[in-house]
Amino acid sequence: MTKQTTAVETSPIAPAADAPAADAPLRGRSVFMVETVAAGVAVRPAFLAEDGRLLDLPAVFPDMNYAMAQIEELKQLVSTHFSQAAQVGAQVIAAQAAANAAAAAANPEAIAPAPAA
């Protein structure tokens, strides 16, 4: 499983209800957690605090232009994950075909058709 993040600089925000309580506003940046999973590519927004904590908070964009730029970057990350998954899939198929061919060459009787009755 491959994980990548893309950073989005944001203003300080108040912590979400499920985030650890803090006396001061939370400072950091929004990130996208992008993973290749069995069902496809999973994307979830998170917040990377300056102290290194990764919190389940929504991505916050200060304006439309910045949001669109981040969405374009996210599209590139998702495309990269699908490309990598396709390459891995092709490698697995090729390896399986090679293993099947080697097994057939080593034991031709194992795959010979049954004699006609």
The tokens of 5 are what? Answer: 């993040």
CB distance 10 to 29 below 8 Å: yes
pLDDT tens over the chain, length 117 residues: 445 544 444 434 444 444 555 567 888 888 888 998 888 899 999 888 999 999 988 887 888 998 899 899 999 999 999 999 999 989 999 999 999 999 888 887 765 566 666
Amino acid code (one letter) for 20: P
Cα distances (Å, whole numbers) of residue 55 to 51, 106, 107? 11, 54, 56
Beta bridge partners of 48: 29, 54
pTM: predicted TM-score of the whole model, two decimal places:
0.57
Helix and strand numbers (H, E) in the chain are 2, 4
Non-local (6+) Cβ contacts of 11 within 8 A are: 60, 62
